[in-house]
């Protein structure tokens, strides 16, 4: 889904659906919604007064406009109580917005950002909004054939604001949100992938692809280097598997000076059977996700490079399987 910023006012938007946000303790419609309310014969304000819609967090209602305004429908989304608003709640309502629009089979929507009145810094809540909007649409369908009738996709989300001076900081914040959401989706994909398709060697190849981003260097240590370095813990776990272990080092901005180095370490057990102490069968299907720490580090390094952060950052990712082979480490 593409998210873009547009300068304009709600009454002139000929959108399929126009989204407004309300606080639970709102007594009357705000300026952003006033025109639409009047055009709909005070239908929105009557709804609020009669408690036909209480704007609790993530609650929604969709109203047809019957051609009285340019948009075909308007959607009201609840923000909860104003004093309780946080960045995470902004993410939630953004996700509610996009998932609801997508479920309607609508391919584009317009969110009226002037209707969200918050004291949080603009750059933070626009970024949070972009993150929530994108992450709510995540699906893992690598191995699934999706029939045409299920291929509902929200392709475009327009964030409408009236203040032109806010356009640049809002655009920058949305871009950061998109980078982070993309990295999170990459991480989720990696975690959800079955273990036969993400062995330590495949993880290492994935890390090398990340190193194509400017400023990132990748080094992969294999069995001889690991033995020479005395990494007995990693080699001990690995010896029960036919898959050779890999130790992945991702380094970003190596030439930077006069700054501390930040290091992320992520556990990369690509399948954890429990070794000789086999895990219970009811938990075994979850053991493909024992490399979630490694996936998080790889996703973080992707985002860091795209945001061109000034720090020197290193990602350390020891990867192996823990399997009950005849040569496995014995407890």
Instruction: Give the residue extent of every domain in the chain.
Output: 2-161+169-191, 195-322
Report the DSSP pairing between strands 312-322 and 261-265. parallel
Q: Which CATH class for the 195-322 domain?
A: alpha beta
pLDDT over 90 percentage in the chain: 83
DSSP label at residue 197: G
Q: How deeply is 275 buried, as exposed, middle or buried, from its count of CB atoms within 10 A (0-12, 13-18, 19+)? A: buried
Using one digit for the tens of pLDDT, what is the confidence trace for 16-33? 999 999 999 888 888 899
Residues 9 and 18 sit within 8 Å (Cβ to Cβ): no
**Using 50, 70 and 90 to split pLDDT, how confident is the model at 101?**
very high
Using one digit for the tens of pLDDT, what is the confidence trace for 129-160? 999 999 999 999 999 888 877 777 899 999 99
- In whole numbers, what is the pLDDT of the chain averaged over residues? 94
Query: Domain 2-161+169-191 falls in which CATH fold?
Result: 3.40.220
Using one digit for the tens of pLDDT, what is the confidence trace for 36-88? 999 999 999 999 998 899 999 999 999 999 999 999 999 999 999 999 999 99
**How far, in Å, CA of 224 to CA of 151, rounded?**
48
Query: Which candidate, 87, 82, 93, 66, places its Cα nearest to that of 23?
Result: 82
pLDDT over 70 percentage in the chain: 100
What is the arithmetic mean of pLDDT over 255-270? 93
Give me the residues paired with residue 156 across strands: 2, 108
| pLDDT for the residue numbered 283 | 87
What is the arithmetic mean of pLDDT over 82-100? 96
What is the arithmetic mean of pLDDT over 120-135? 95
**How far, in Å, CA of 53 to CA of 68, rounded?**
21
Query: Which candidate, 34, 4, 40, 19, places its Cα nearest to that of 106?
Result: 19
Residues 56 and 78 sit within 8 Å (Cβ to Cβ): yes
| pLDDT for the residue numbered 146 | 82
| pLDDT for the residue numbered 217 | 97
Quick count: other Cβ atoms within 10 Å of Cβ 256? 14
What is the arithmetic mean of pLDDT over 254-262? 88
| pLDDT for the residue numbered 185 | 98
What is the arithmetic mean of pLDDT over 292-303? 98
Using one digit for the tens of pLDDT, what is the confidence trace for 234-250? 999 999 999 999 999 99
For the entire predicted model, the pTM comes to: 0.93
Checking if the pLDDT of 330 tops 80, the result is no
Checking if the pLDDT of 214 tops 80, the result is yes
DSSP string, 290-315: TTHHHHHHHHHHHHHHHHT-SSEEEE
**Using 50, 70 and 90 to split pLDDT, how confident is the model at 206?**
very high
Residues 13 and 71 sit within 8 Å (Cβ to Cβ): yes
| pLDDT for the residue numbered 88 | 97
Residues 27 and 72 sit within 8 Å (Cβ to Cβ): no
What is the arithmetic mean of pLDDT over 294-315? 96
E-state strands within 178-311: 216-221, 246-252, 261-265, 268-272
What is the arithmetic mean of pLDDT over 163-180? 96
Phi first, then psi, for residue 203 (nearest 5°) are: -60, -40
């Amino acid at each position: 889904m593409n998210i873009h910023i547009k300068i304009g006012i709600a009454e002139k938007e000929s959108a399929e659906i126009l989204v407004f946000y309300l606080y639970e303790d709102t007594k009357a419609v705000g300026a952003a919604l006033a025109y639409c309310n009047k055009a709909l014969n005070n239908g929105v304000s009557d709804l609020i007064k009669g408690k036909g819609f209480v704007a609790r967090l993530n609650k929604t209602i969709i109203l047809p406009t019957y051609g009285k305004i340019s948009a075909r429908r308007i959607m009201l989304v609840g923000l909860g109580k104003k004093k309780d608003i946080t960045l995470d709640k902004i993410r939630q309502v953004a996700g509610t917005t996009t998932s609801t629009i997508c479920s309607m089979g609508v391919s584009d929507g317009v969110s009226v950002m002037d209707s969200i009145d918050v004291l949080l810094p603009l750059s933070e809540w626009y970024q949070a909004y972009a993150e929530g909007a994108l992450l709510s649409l995540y699906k893992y369908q690598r191995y699934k054939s999706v029939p045409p009738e299920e291929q509902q996709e929200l392709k475009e989300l327009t964030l409408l604001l009236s203040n032109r001076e806010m356009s640049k900081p809002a655009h920058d914040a949305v871009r950061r949100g998109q980078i982070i959401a993309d990295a999170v989706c990459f991480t989720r994909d990696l975690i959800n992938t079955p273990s036969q398709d993400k062995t330590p060697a495949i993880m290492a190849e994935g890390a090398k692809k990340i190193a194509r981003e400017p400023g990132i260097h990748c080094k992969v240590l294999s069995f001889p280097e690991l033995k020479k370095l005395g990494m007995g813990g990693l080699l001990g776990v690995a010896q029960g598997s036919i898959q050779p272990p890999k130790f992945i080092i991702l380094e970003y901005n190596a030439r930077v000076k006069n700054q501390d180095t930040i290091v992320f370490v992520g556990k990369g057990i690509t399948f954890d059977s429990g070794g000789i102490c086999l895990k219970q069968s009811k938990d075994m299907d979850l053991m493909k996700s024992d490399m979630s720490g490694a996936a998080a580090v790889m996703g973080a390094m992707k985002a860091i490079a795209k945001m061109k952060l000034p720090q020197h950052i290193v990602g350390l990712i020891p990867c192996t399987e823990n399997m009950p082979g005849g040569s496995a480490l014995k407890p």
